[in-house]
Amino acid sequence: MGNFILMPKLGMTMTDGKIIKWLKNIGDDVEKGDYVFEVETDKTSLEVDALYDGKLLKIFFDEGETAPINYPVGYIGAEGEEIPPLPEMENAPAAETETKAAPAAAAPKAAPKKEAKPKKKIDMSKFDYELLVIGAGPGGYVAAIRAAQLGAKVAIVECDEVGGTCLNRGCIPTKALYTSAKVFGKLKHCADYGLSVSGAGFDWKKIMERKDGIVKQLTTGVAGLLKKNGVTIIKGRAKITDANTVEVDLNGTKTKHSAGYIMIATGTQPISVLKNVDKAVKINTTDDILAMQTLPKSMVIVGGGVIGVEIANIMSSFDVDVTILELMPTIIPMVDAEISTMLKSKLVAKGVKILNEVTANTIKKDGKDNVLELSNGETIKCEYILEAVGRGVVSDAFADMKLSTSPRGFITVDESMCSSVDSIYAIGDVTGGYMLAHEASEQGIIAVETMFGEAPTGEMLIPSCIFTEPEISFVGKTEQQAKDAGIPAKSFKFPFAANGKALTLGESDGFVKVVVDERYGEILGVHIIGPEASSLIHEAVMAMNLEATAQSAGHVVHAHPTLSEALMEAFLGASTGAIHM
Ligand code: FAD
């Protein structure tokens, strides 16, 4: 039985290739390693070699024709052999190193956003501003600064403090508390380092003051940056009244502002799904936690997602008795299964109770306590309830505009972040997606560079980090996700226990897992649980962005002793072999 010659995937973003020249003719003998055809992609052109010996029996795509990746372009077999029929185009076989003539699963494709609409020339002289941004979170303020750097006349409307959820009620304040929790944990375990400290304790008020100080420093810095870049800050609540006009309400005084482009960056707010809650019961959000003046003795966290586990980690560090209720069978269900299991065991070891596939059916008040009747029949009491089940769009700014949205109300945008109305763009959490600060910022940059500069190209890889102990980070696909998408994937796991620096830090729990496409060594995903996971992941993002293979990334020299050697070893393990395992 012969073999199809497949159009190879020569880069992460390659979807098809054009046959420039056949280097063998039908009937020619072919030896493994012989060049058989020349291909041109959007980035390169090169010669493709044969993976098998035999005769070139059939050419399916002539010179000048384009074939999708992993689809047969020719057939090598024995003289007189019957050539099998071509698979359906949409069921192109997933190529193997030695591809047999048998159909297999389709090659995966990322669900792309709609292609950007062609840019129209706008007469900006008619408007007060070239760009008016609504919302000064990490999406909006970064977009405003970049647009100003590109020479645009920009205003930004904010009804609260600049910095948005990220600086005021999200990333930064939670990480300030996380750091206090981590340092306190180190103090408690200082004997492990041969140290002794007496009277280690904490002052919640001072921890909160430290957090507030960091937030203030950063929000002041952002306001200064906006000013320095010539961005006009308009205080008040904005509402878009037509495709180029925004009305701003500041304590009842309304002003109108026109702009060639309007950008919606209004973010999200906590949502609630709890039912049958007694009126006397207070259901708290993360906004409440971050303003909490005293620590409760006990806390139930409804939702075992990223925010739920981060808060559980912080609270349990300060001896709050924490219970997580999670509807799904695992906590942080979106991450690699082994990582989720490991985090669960770490939280449990800190005293956190985790109840999976459980929710609260009713919540009542009994004196000072809240009483939760759970779906598993149990009843638990606690002093404080945090609901962290997700966030919904802040929509008043665009409520009258009939923009196209998803069923959950997130604004639908194209590749350049343009909404269904040509002059209105939307970025950040209000468009859904990963709902992370760095995604919002990057989307803002893409949008304004499309408006005022060169539209950026290329895929946007978004790393995710979870600030627990140990930290978690990931980018790309898990092995399971890759396999579900029909990719022959394999993974390699390098433990921090085999990394010298992690041992010296006393933080050797965890691992780096690299997922690769078995055929080409393409890095499909990297998943880390361990020390400084949130910093280490960027090496993986860089490698994937630059389309390095696991082998080439593994051959990058890493200084010793460093945590990043664990990444190098994991890349090597997924290709030519790890050294220290
Ligand atoms: P936002 O930051 O929400 O900013 C929107 C702004 O618009 C707000 O300032 C709001 O006041 C303003 N606004 C809304 N409507 C109007 C209107 N009509 N007129 C005028 N102004 C308006 N992400 C990470 O990447 N890393 C983390 O560690 C992380 N931790 C988090 C922890 C918590 C507890 C939470 C809640 C979130 C966390 N996030 C984290 C998510 C991150 O905060 C968001 O992804 C990010 O802030 C979204 O940015 P944005 O610009 O889209 O919106």
For ligand 1, say whether the CB of 304 is within 6 Å of any of its atoms: no
Residue positions annotated with a catalytic role? 560
DSSP classification of residue 454: P
**Would you write out the chain's pLDDT as a tens digit for each of its 581 residues?**
788 898 887 766 677 889 999 999 999 999 988 999 999 887 778 888 888 899 999 999 999 999 988 889 999 999 989 898 887 765 444 443 333 332 222 232 334 467 777 777 889 999 999 999 999 999 999 999 999 999 999 999 999 999 999 999 999 999 999 999 999 999 999 999 999 999 899 999 999 999 999 999 999 999 999 999 999 999 999 999 999 999 999 999 999 999 999 999 999 999 999 999 999 999 999 999 999 999 999 999 999 999 999 999 999 999 999 999 999 999 999 999 999 999 999 999 999 999 999 999 999 999 999 999 999 999 999 999 999 999 999 999 999 999 999 999 999 999 999 999 999 999 999 999 999 999 999 999 999 999 998 877 777 899 999 999 999 999 999 999 999 988 999 999 999 999 999 999 999 999 999 999 998 899 999 999 999 999 999 999 999 999 999 999 999 999 999 999 999 999 999 999 999 99
User: Which residues, including other chains, have CB under 8 Å from residue 53's CB and lie 6 or more apart?
Assistant: 30, 31, 32, 76
Question: How many Å apart are CA 477 and CA 116, to the nearest integer?
Answer: 26
In the chain, the amino acid numbered 257 is: H
The pTM for the full model equals 0.85
For ligand 1, say whether the CB of 339 is within 6 Å of any of its atoms: no
Q: Atom 52 of ligand 1 has which residue's CA nearest to it?
A: 428
Decide: 156 and 143 in contact? Cβ < 8 Å. no
| Burial grade of 374 (CB within 10 A; 0-12, 13-18, 19 or more) | middle
Q: Atom 3 of ligand 1 has which residue's CA nearest to it?
A: 267
Tokens of 12: 């992460």
Question: What is the number of the ligand 1 atom nearest to the C-alpha of 311?
Answer: 34
- Tens-digit pLDDT profile for residues 284-326: 999 999 999 999 999 999 999 999 999 999 999 999 999 999 9
- Between the CA of 166 and the centroid of ligand 1 the distance, in Å, is 5
Helices 204-228, 171-188: axis angle to 10 degrees equals 140
For ligand 1, say whether the CB of 429 is within 6 Å of any of its atoms: yes
Question: What is the number of the ligand 1 atom nearest to the C-alpha of 161?
Answer: 9
* Closest alpha carbon to 550 in 494, 469, 505: 494
For ligand 1, say whether the CB of 437 is within 6 Å of any of its atoms: yes
- Between the CA of 437 and the centroid of ligand 1 the distance, in Å, is 7
Mutate to test the pocket of ligand 1, among 218, 234, 266 (most ligand atoms within 8 A of CB): 266
Question: How many Å apart are CA 185 and CA 188, to the nearest integer?
Answer: 5
Q: What is the pLDDT of residue 105?
A: 28
- Between the CA of 138 and the centroid of ligand 1 the distance, in Å, is 7
- Coil, helix or strand for 259? strand
- Between the CA of 222 and the centroid of ligand 1 the distance, in Å, is 14
